[in-house]
Amino acid sequence: MSVGGPVPMIDPTPLMVALPLIWAVSSLILSRPWRDRLLWLWLAAMIGAVAWLWRTVAAAGALEHQVGGWDAPLGILLRADGPAVAFIVVSALVATGTAVFASRYLRDEPGDRHFWPLFGFLWGGLNAIWLAGDLFNLYVGLELVSLSAVGLTALAGSAEALAAALRYLLAALMGSLAWLLGVALLYAGHGTLDAALLASTLQPGATAAIALALMTAGLALKTALFPLHGWLPPAHGGALTPVSALLSALVVMASFYVLARVWLQLGPALGAGAPLAGAMQLLGWLGAGALCWGSWQALRQRRLKLVVAWSTVAQIGYFFLLFPLVVGQSADAAELGWQGSLLMVLGHALAKAAMFLAAGNLALAIGSDDVDALAGVSHFLPRSLFSFGLAGVSLMGLPPSAGFTGKWLLMQSALASGQWWWLVVLVLGSVLSVAYIFRIFQKSFIEGPERDWFVHPPLRQDLAALVLALASIALGLGAMPLLALAGLDAAR
């Protein structure tokens, strides 16, 4: 790559999808010793490619790549802009941490053989979503992610896991079809699937409104927005630990990312007016409902992983504050709201992955997933509990975490756009999350007389959780480069 050249001849964009797919296929063929060796080589290649893409886009701006040289609309367009790169970097962090954890954790689990191919397909599908330049490839990406996520959910093999996987699959399939139906209507009306082109040619009217409503409903179902969240807690709470981390951190983020980009690109073209503002307020209020109901349920759960899974339902509520705060608001308020949402979403991915991995370590150590069984664990497992706590700091929104910076920016945005009621929602959500996270701590500091043995989780698993938790704190401290790269202008 020549420095300062117009467009580099070899660009790293297609590697984001190709490398995970290569791993998915080769891990299916190879068995134990060779697969483990290839895993490290492949992870190093992925990290290298992601770093390369980041540097290229930060230096030269967004990249566009036509796979195989085929033009849109029949070809596949990959568009690596600022927000896409931010999501690629964070999902690479989460996926690498989870892979390190899983490489040790799965040795004793029956799902070992099938985890790795599905992991590869999931990562490839996620990167395809971050990079997709048109609505139909988003559909393919969403389906790839859903199908591998369902397979991963079922890996635990128990009856509960199978029921959770089926429930998840039925919800995800209907969500995808609703999306596709919306895409069909948009294509019929405008003759293009290119998101950027649609934004400039979209004609406001009943067809566009119905199409966007269908797409939004489908994606809300896939993101598990309250009150469509029923499938999430059993699926995320009952899966194997590394799977829970991937599902809660990344998969939920994928359908939200699509929804956010669709509204940011197409929302303004619908024309500002009462219906648009009303729809955005409705999405925000559903988010507020998720925040309250999810936190309340998290507070009541007896199993540790279900507490974390319900906390995901609650945190998804924060994501949806993006819509009333950004779409159709003044430039200042929208920029603040976008930056805040970006930090909330990306910070949640890192913190939630860390929290699930730490919860898995705790459950492994005490041989039980019961919150009450945590009594006295603080004496023996400071490392696992520390990771859990750091992740909790970010979810509660205490400084200096990404959760704090994100909420701070969202509050600024709510003030700038004169929507004081979202301030109340943000404060209420923080108080509720403090309640359910401190409940876990309270249990772990109780002196437990009856339990006197603990298994120490493998060092590799503790480190994976710790590094991800530290990353969620670091994101709050060092948010500027990321926000500079992924500004609101780049997302539109």
Partner 1 sequence: MTLGEVYALAGIGLCGLGLFGWLANSNLLRRIIAFNITGTGTFLLLVGLAPPPPAGGAADPVPQALVLTGIVVAVAATALALALARRWYQVSGRVGLPEDEAE
Residues that bind partner 1 (CB under 8 A): 73-74, 136, 139-140, 143, 146-147, 150-151, 154, 158-159, 162-163, 165-167, 169-170, 173-174, 176-177, 180-181, 183-185, 187-188, 191, 193
Find the shortest distance in angstroms from Cβ 172 to partner 1: 9
Least distance to partner 1 from the beta carbon of 154, Å? Answer: 6
Nearest CB to partner 1, comparing residues 178 and 381: 178
**Smallest gap from residue 185 Cβ to partner 1 (A):** 7
The residue among 151, 101, 321, 116 whose CA lies nearest residue 251 is 151
Task: Quote the tokens at residue 222.
Answer: 């896939």
Name the burial class of residue 473, with classes exposed (0-12), middle (13-18) and buried (19+) by CB atoms within 10 angstroms of its CB. buried
Q: What distance lies between CA 316 and its chain's CA centroid? A: 9
In angstroms, the CA 324 to CA 321 distance is 6
**Residue among 44 and 170 whose Cβ is closer to partner 1:** 170
CB of 235 to partner 1, least distance (A): 12
CA distance 130 to 300: 35
Task: Rank residues 214 and 466 by Cβ distance to partner 1 and give the closer one.
Answer: 214
Helix (H, G, I), strand (E, B) or coil at 63: strand
Residue 258's nearest CA partner among 146, 350, 408, 412 is 146
Q: How many CA atoms lie within 13 A of 395 on its CB side?
A: 37
**Phi, psi (5° rounding) for residue 334?**
-65, -40
Task: Kindly give, in sequence order, each residue whose CB lies less than 8 Å from that of residue 427, ignoring residues fewer than 6 positions away.
Answer: none
Q: Which is nearer to partner 1, 173 or 269 (CB)?
A: 173
Mapped onto helix, strand or coil, the DSSP state of residue 449 is: coil
Min separation Cβ 194 and partner 1, Å: 11
Nearer to partner 1, 234 or 476 (CB): 234
Compare residues 90 and 144 and give the one whose CB is closer to partner 1.
144
N- to C-terminal Cα distance for the chain?
28
Q: Which of 239/355 has CB closer to partner 1? A: 239
Question: Minimal distance in Å, beta carbon 70 to partner 1?
Answer: 11
Min dist. Cβ of residue 484 to partner 1 (A): 37
User: Which structure tokens are listed for 392?
Assistant: 């909790």
